[in-house]
Amino acid sequence: MISIVAGGVAGAVETTLSYPLDLVKTRQQQKNSNQSLSRIVPDILRERGLRGLYVGLTAPLVSEVPRRALKFGANLC
What pLDDT, in 10s, does the model give residues 19-38? 999 988 888 888 777 777 78
Distance CA 19, CA 13 (A): 10
> pTM (2 decimals)?
0.76
Number of domains composing the chain: 1
Asked if residue 63 has pLDDT above 80, the reply is yes
- pLDDT given for residue 76 in this prediction: 67
Rg (CA), the chain: 16
- pLDDT given for residue 37 in this prediction: 78
Q: How many CA atoms lie within 13 A of 7 on its CB side?
A: 17
